[in-house]
């Protein structure tokens, strides 16, 4: 298993989307199936930190 600091690509069925709301733009990544899961990153980080989540959740949640 690669170290957690390495960057991996999201699965091809994931897409990025910008949502305009309340005077700001939220950049989101949408994909997968099942109940919704919201993953937030902290200041000075990017959503790329969650790139391992799809493969981990498929193995542990099903």
Question: What pLDDT is stored for residue 24 in this prediction?
Answer: 94
Question: What pLDDT is stored for residue 62 in this prediction?
Answer: 56
- Would you list the domain boundaries of the chain? 15-60
Separation of alpha carbons 48 and 10, rounded Å: 8
What digits encode the pLDDT tens for the residues 10-53?
778 888 899 999 999 988 888 888 888 887 877 777 767 777 76
Question: What pLDDT is stored for residue 38 in this prediction?
Answer: 83
Question: What pLDDT is stored for residue 59 in this prediction?
Answer: 61
Maximum separation of any 2 CA atoms in the chain, in Å: 41
Above 70 in pLDDT, residue 6? Answer: no
8 A C-beta contact, residue 38 and residue 20: no
Question: What pLDDT is stored for residue 19 in this prediction?
Answer: 93
User: Could you tell me which of 47, 10, 42, 16 has the C-alpha nearest to residue 29?
Assistant: 16
Overall residue count recorded for the chain in this entry: 62
Instruction: Collect all residues with Cβ–Cβ distance below 8 Å to 50 and sequence separation of at least 6.
Output: 29, 39, 41
């Amino acid at each position: 298993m690669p170290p957690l600091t390495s960057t991996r690509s999201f699965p091809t069925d994931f897409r990025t989307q910008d949502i305009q709301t309340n005077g700001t733009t939220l950049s989101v990544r949408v994909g997968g199936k099942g109940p919704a899961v919201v993953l937030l990153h902290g200041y000075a980080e990017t959503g790329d930190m969650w790139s391992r989540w799809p493969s981990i959740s498929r193995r542990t949640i099903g």
